[in-house]
């Protein structure tokens, strides 16, 4: 009887130790990912971006112990794996810039929804994580009608050409397109999971929700982070949008779609072969197929994932 009680107690103690170790490791991983972008987190954000669900007591004990062991640091309301109080100051300034830029992003996003064959618009990138600086772009994720992605993209990028005349091009960075046939993302890793979970829906509620539903795999990597909800009702279709979609809904649209796809592929192939760079000095890149188009300047995603793995190996106790 006594031996059984002792065994049960040891098992419970071992379980507590294991929960603590798992919780601590998950906290380190969350902070390490955001440290790539020099972005410290609040305790609530850490819990949101853990790779597993952790009970409140284990979380609080792990945070306190990691601080005591100087594996994580707390400055200005934020936690980081760096002992650098300037990160908190930078974050607060970035949050202020983002607050103003998000108002513009909503207006621009709802305007972009009026382009032919656009079915949904969301804000991605750093702004979707509530951070911006004076030189920040607004990155948009676009869902197009099935088999009309290249027509939609061409219309939108022709418009963007005119924004260079007014210096507003940074407000119209349409970086990622999928059509309704390609909602399931091929790359399923922590980078894409983070982008999906932090995507800020602007319009196209039905298609955005379908996109989230198809990509439920992201729950396996970020189980405590909910998909975000669109705050405003969808804008109605303009007469111009209805008319163009009607004209290009049949065989004429099919031929134009295929022509624009081939044309864009050839143009970008030439640009990449010549090592063309964007305004930020990054090598230009566009990953395309019939139903998707993704800007990938300087192999950004690959570099982030490589840095993440490298940082995890360098953090003590990770």
- Report the CATH number at residue 67: 1.10.10
Mean pLDDT score across all residues of the chain? 88
Distance CA 282, CA 300 (A): 9
Domain that holds residue 26: 2-84
The answer to whether position 314 is within a domain reads no
Residues 41 and 135 placed together within one structural domain of the fold:
no
Residues 41 and 104 placed together within one structural domain of the fold:
no
Greater model confidence, 286 or 40: 40
Last residue in a domain, options 66, 84, 102 = 84
Residues 127 and 161 placed together within one structural domain of the fold:
yes
The answer to whether position 311 is within a domain reads no
> Over the range 63-78, which residues count as b (16 or more CB within 10 Å of their CB) and which as e?
beebeeeebbbbbeeb
Residues 182 and 300 placed together within one structural domain of the fold:
yes
Q: Sorting pLDDT into bands at 50, 70 and 90, what band is 227?
A: very high
If one counts the domains in the chain, the total is: 2
- The pLDDT tens digits for 185-219 are 999 999 999 999 999 999 999 999 999 999 999 99
| Statement: residue 22 has pLDDT above 80 | no
- The pLDDT tens digits for 72-119 are 999 999 999 999 999 999 999 999 999 999 999 999 999 999 999 999
| Statement: residue 147 has pLDDT above 90 | yes
Residues 151 and 43 placed together within one structural domain of the fold:
no
The answer to whether position 203 is within a domain reads yes
| Statement: residue 7 has pLDDT above 90 | no
- The pLDDT tens digits for 248-285 are 999 999 999 999 999 998 888 777 666 665 555 555 56
Residues 180 and 115 placed together within one structural domain of the fold:
yes
Residues 74 and 203 placed together within one structural domain of the fold:
no
Query: Which pairing describes strands 139-144 and 173-179: parallel, antiparallel, or unpaired?
Result: parallel
The answer to whether position 208 is within a domain reads yes
What pTM, to 2 d.p., does this model score?
0.88
| Statement: residue 20 has pLDDT above 50 | no
Residues 77 and 109 placed together within one structural domain of the fold:
no
Residues 205 and 286 placed together within one structural domain of the fold:
yes
Residues 79 and 126 placed together within one structural domain of the fold:
no
The answer to whether position 233 is within a domain reads yes
Tell me the average pLDDT across 290-317.
83
Q: Sorting pLDDT into bands at 50, 70 and 90, what band is 44?
A: very high
Residues 72 and 137 placed together within one structural domain of the fold:
no
Residues 76 and 98 placed together within one structural domain of the fold:
no
């Amino acid at each position: 009887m006594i031996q059984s009680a002792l065994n049960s107690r040891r098992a419970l103690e071992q379980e507590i130790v294991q929960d603590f170790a798992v919780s601590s490791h998950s906290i380190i991983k969350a902070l390490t990912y955001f440290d790539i972008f020099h972005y410290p987190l609040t305790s609530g954000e850490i819990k949101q971006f853990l790779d597993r669900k952790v009970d409140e007591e284990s979380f609080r004990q792990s945070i306190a112990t990691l601080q005591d062991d100087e594996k994580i640091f707390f400055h200005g309301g934020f936690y980081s794996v760096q002992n650098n109080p300037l990160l908190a100051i930078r974050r607060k300034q970035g949050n202020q810039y983002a607050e103003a830029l998000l108002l513009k992003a909503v207006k621009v996003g709802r305007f972009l929804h009026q382009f032919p064959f656009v079915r949904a618009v969301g804000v991605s990138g750093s702004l979707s994580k509530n951070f911006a600086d004076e030189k920040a772009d607004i990155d948009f994720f676009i869902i197009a009608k099935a088999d009309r992605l290249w027509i939609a993209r061409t219309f939108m990028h022709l418009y963007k050409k005119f924004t260079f005349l007014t210096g507003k091009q940074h407000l119209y960075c349409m970086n990622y397109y999928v059509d309704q046939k390609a909602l399931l993302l091929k790359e399923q890793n922590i980078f894409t999971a983070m982008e999906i979970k932090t995507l800020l829906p602007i319009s196209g509620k039905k298609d955005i929700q379908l996109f989230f539903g198809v990509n439920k795999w992201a729950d396996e990597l970020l189980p405590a982070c909910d998909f975000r909800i669109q705050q405003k009702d969808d804008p109605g279709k303009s007469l111009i949008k209805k008319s163009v979609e009607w004209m290009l809904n049949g065989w004429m649209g099919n031929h134009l779609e295929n022509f624009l796809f081939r044309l864009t592929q050839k143009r970008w192939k030439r640009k990449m072969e010549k090592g063309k760079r964007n305004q930020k000095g990054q090598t230009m890149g566009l990953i395309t197929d019939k139903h998707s188009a993704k800007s990938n300047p300087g192999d950004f995603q690959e570099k982030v994932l490589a840095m993440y793995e490298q940082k995890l190996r360098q953090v003590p106790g990770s």
